[in-house]
């Protein structure tokens, strides 16, 4: 029997946890930079996402990376009007 870890919300993420996303490997055929940005978007709060973007840019990575349909992450999340404003502003800031 597996034990479930209790869900925690609004916890402070240490740098190690935030920056671990930079090492996430993409599935075959997916741009590595797009994968990191998208995966982090799905799991982080805007404050943590901004910290990731600072490091992402320092490493020379591409904030305008494209998905398999030729869209940037900003274009993808713009289609989701719920709670996307902060993330769109951050992506524009670092583009």
In a domain, 7, yes or no: no
In a domain, 5, yes or no: no
Q: In which domain, by residue range, is 62 found?
A: 17-94
- Its pTM stands at 0.82
pLDDT tens digits, 53-86 = 999 999 999 999 999 999 999 999 998 777 688 9
pLDDT tens digits, 40-55 = 999 999 999 999 999 9
In a domain, 21, yes or no: yes
H/E element, 40? helix 32-43
Q: Is the pLDDT of residue 1 over 80?
A: no
Count of structural domains within the chain: 1
């Amino acid at each position: 029997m597996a034990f479930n870890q209790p869900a925690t919300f609004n916890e402070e993420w240490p740098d190690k946890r935030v920056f671990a996303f930079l090492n996430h490997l993409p599935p075959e055929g997916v741009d590595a930079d797009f994968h990191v940005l998208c995966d982090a978007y799905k799991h982080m709060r805007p404050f943590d996402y901004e910290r990731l973007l600072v490091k992402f840019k320092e490493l020379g990575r591409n904030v305008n990376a494209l998905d398999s349909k030729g869209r940037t992450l900003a274009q993808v999340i713009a289609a989701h009007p719920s709670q996307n404003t902060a993330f769109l502003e951050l992506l524009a800031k670092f583009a």
